[in-house]
Amino acid sequence: MPKSSLRGGAKAHRKRVQERNNRLRGNQRRFQEEYQALMMKQIEALRAQMSGETENTEEVVSDEQPLNIKL
């Protein structure tokens, strides 16, 4: 096998593999942080929607009279 096909031997191979694994780990961490931030944003929007602090746009019709039942 010619020397050029070894591409630096076992030491260079371990270095390339380590760099690849570090790059994959970094990408995975970055994507996880982005996903977490997006999910927290969605959760906060749902909490705001479900809480009583939001503006109520429904109109209350008060034309009805309460029932007066005497027992």
Domain ranges of the chain: 7-50
Write down the pTM of the prediction: 0.54
**Structure confidence at residue 54 (pLDDT):** 52
39, 47 in Cβ contact below 8 A? no
The better pLDDT of the pair 36, 1 is held by 36
Q: What is the mean pLDDT of residues 5-9?
A: 77
Q: Given pLDDT bands bounded at 50, 70 and 90, which one contains residue 8?
A: confident
Pick from 41, 21, 22, 44: nearest CA to 33: 41
Phi/psi of residue 55, each to 5°?
A: -75, 135
**pLDDT tens column, 11-69:** 999 999 999 999 999 999 999 999 999 999 999 999 988 886 556 566 666 667 767 77
d(CA 56, CA 63): 19
